[in-house]
Amino acid sequence: MSDIYIPGVKSRFDTEKLVEDLMKVERIPKERSERQVEHLQAEKTYWQDLSRRMSTLRDSARFLYSFQNPFNEQIVNSSDTSVLSATSTREAVTQEFTFTVKQIAQADRFLSDPIEDSFAVDEGIYTFSIGKESISFPFRGGSLREFIEILNRRGRSKIGGNLIAVQPGKKSLLIESRITGAENSLIFSETAEALGLRSGMLEQATGVSKSLREEVLTVDPGGTAFIPFNIEVSSVQSGILQFEIATKIHQNTVSSADQGEVPPEAAANQSSEENPTGIPSWTPLEPVAQVDDMQVLYLTYSDGTNSALPPIRDSSDFNTYHYRFMDVAGDKIDKTIVSLEIVNQNTHRSVSIRNLQLIDSEGEGGMRPRNPVSVAQDAVVTMEGIEITRPTNKIDDLIPGLTITARNPSDKPIQLKVEPDQEAVKDAIISLVGNYNRLMADLNVLTRNDERVIQELSYLSEEEQADLRKRLGVFMGDSILGQFKTSLQRAAAATYPTSANRDLALLAQIGIGTDIRGGGSSSGYDPARLRGYLEINEKALDGALQTNLPAIAQLFGSDTNGDFIVDSGIAYAFETLTKPFVETGGIIALKSGRIDSQINQEQRRVETLERQLALKEASLKNQYGQMEGAYNRMERMSSSLDQFSQQGNTR
């Protein structure tokens, strides 16, 4: 049936197949140009990937000697991070400190008595003060949960609240300040004070309970005095010990004999040629050193122990000091204070004290917390025996470049050691070696037509190996890449000047090289070791970082002529070699631009050939159509002649 010819439906001579066969030959130049475009696009992609590899190596190399290099990074190690921790910046200096955390900074946190779930908060204006800050908001009345929601929303991260289920059907209201420091006490005002009283969070304080001494007591230089009183700490632990102190500087508090001046009678004895009395000549005494000691106040307990109050300030005017008993008593909460002792070890300063009082309220306005979870207090730490007080637990103004965080009080001395961040340096070096090896792998694949260079890369997945096979030997004849690869290998094996001289001038001396793990032993011929890949002996690298970090920094980048610009080192060499390839207008940019021009040229040729092929195909179809039409006309004419002849014969 396929040979049946149907006029108008099927071509007698299968014109379409004839035209298609002829066009296949005509399309060969176009298909060749299209394949060339694909090849050029793939080649451009290979150059772009190579550029990324070079840029990555350049960045990791530049990082090792730039201003932000890891050799200047510092870390802080604490002997007990649960008590004291610290962080450092690059400004920190390698050193070691001893700290003791006496107390941590806290904020006021007050808890109410257990109250019924049905407890209703009254309507009114609720005002809370934290130090100099004041927060006030209206409440139209409602449940505790509604009040807490508004308090947390209006508290502006300075005050907040919570409900704690302490018993079935009962909750305790917790209101807390979120600002630490002794000067940031939480004060309730207006309707808030009434809520505190009604919920059992606050209670009325009794004010001043006892005046221990009103008149002035002056202690001269070198003197000691006692103010006796018997107070059980446990009974007044919420109270305050308050007094006023002034100091006075004396210019001439040391005798002339102590200063080494010669008495008149001694001078006479010295000037006399004879000494009939037999009195020995006078020998001057060494001058007495001046003593400045502001640690003058001590609380003495019934068991004979004592605790020091913080140092006072030097001032000729009386200044008021107040200390919470629960802060200064520490672990002596069950003891009895028998006296306040003034020990004046100064050689030129007298100390005067007056108005010593015991106050039975911490709060203002006659209110005190009934169930304090914590009270506002400063952080107190000692550094090398020097006491420091701060309102927060984060102290960043004590040591340049160091932020110290007090976490828990402890009598145990804590060692803080500031030292170079060797792990950061190690990670940066490993990153450099890894980027170098990946670039070297790409160079070996692109410039060599040897399947073994791919098989040696055992860390690659099957998909990555298949992709590399497409690139195998693509740039085998590119002399620039060959020279670059050789220069890169030479830079990795070259010597560089350091402060350690010959003891540290090569990468191999810090455990990095082409045959480090083999140790140079004769383990047989391994062509992979000739490809230029670097290996790392991590143990040797750790040892070098531990003992010779400054020289390692110079090994990767150093200034040899004193102009404060790095001009030597392995990292500097890598950056210098890769820069001409990856910079704007560099080698790879020029090659990519040339490839773009070739792609554009080939694409224009493809477009031209497509137009020509379209015209050619139309022309062939037209010619074969005309041929088939002529044949059909001739066939019809022949048929007409046959019919005319048959008609003549029948006549």
Each residue's pLDDT tens digit, 323-369 = 777 667 666 666 778 888 999 999 899 999 998 887 765 444 467 88
Separation between Cα atoms, residue 18 and residue 514, nearest integer Å? 64
Q: Locate the domains of the chain by residue range.
A: 41-70+423-584, 109-204, 208-253+290-419
How many CA within 13 A on the CB side of residue 164? 12
What pLDDT, in 10s, does the model give residues 275-323? Answer: 555 555 656 656 668 888 889 999 888 888 888 888 888 888 888 887 7
Span 544-548, mean pLDDT?
93
Question: Rounded to whole angstroms, what are the CA distances from 269 to 262, 281, 284, 287, 297?
Answer: 11, 6, 14, 22, 47
* Percentage above 70 pLDDT, the chain: 85
Distance CA 418, CA 375 (A): 33
3-class SS of residue 494: coil
pLDDT tens, position by position, 123-165 = 999 999 998 889 999 999 999 999 999 999 998 889 999 999 9
DSSP 179-218: --STT--EEEEEHHHHHHHHTTSEEE---EEEEEE-S-EE
In which band, very low, low, confident or very high, does the pLDDT at 120 lie, cut at 50, 70 and 90? very high
Measure the CA dihedral 604/606/610/616, to 10°: 110
CATH topology of domain 208-253+290-419: Jelly Rolls (2.60.120)
Give the mean model confidence (pLDDT) for residues 375-380: 91
* Nearest alpha carbon to residue 628 among 20, 26, 7, 2: 7
Structure tokens at 636: 């019809």
Q: Are 74 and 88 in contact (CB under 8 A)?
A: yes
Strand 186-190 and strand 109-111: the pairing is unpaired
Burial of 72 (0-12, 13-18, 19+ CB in 10 A): middle
Strand pairing category for 217-219 and 349-359: antiparallel
pLDDT at 568 over 70: yes
Residue 518 backbone class (left: φ over 0; alpha: ψ -120 to 50; beta: rest): alpha
Return the structure tokens found at 275: 């000494």
For the record, the structure tokens of 48 come out as: 């772009």
- Asked which of 81-95, 113-127, 355-369, 528-542 is least confident by mean pLDDT, the reply is 355-369
Which pair of tokens denotes residue 8?
Answer: 């108008």
Alpha-carbon dihedral angle through residues 66, 70, 74, 76, given to the nearest 10 degrees: 160
**What CA–CA distance (Å, rounded) separates 388 from 380?**
6
pLDDT digits (tens, 9 = 90+) for 625-651: 787 778 777 877 887 877 777 776 666
Residue 157, by phi and psi: left (phi above 0), alpha (psi -120 to 50) or beta? Answer: left
Cβ neighbors of 626 (< 8 A, separation 6 or more) are: none
Helix axes 28-63, 422-447, angle to 10 degrees: 160
C-alpha span between 445 and 469 (Å, rounded): 8
pLDDT of 546 reads: 92
Residue 268 has pLDDT above 70, yes or no: no
Neighbours of 512 (CB within 10 A): 24
- Rounded distance, CA 107 to CA 178, Å? 6
What letter would DSSP give residue 17? H
Q: Is 530 exposed, middle or buried (0-12, 13-18, 19+ CB in 10 A)?
A: exposed
Alpha helices in 360-501 (DSSP H): 422-447, 452-455, 462-471, 479-493
Q: Are the C-beta atoms of residues 207 and 217 closer than 8 Å to each other?
A: no
367-369/224-232 β-pairing: unpaired
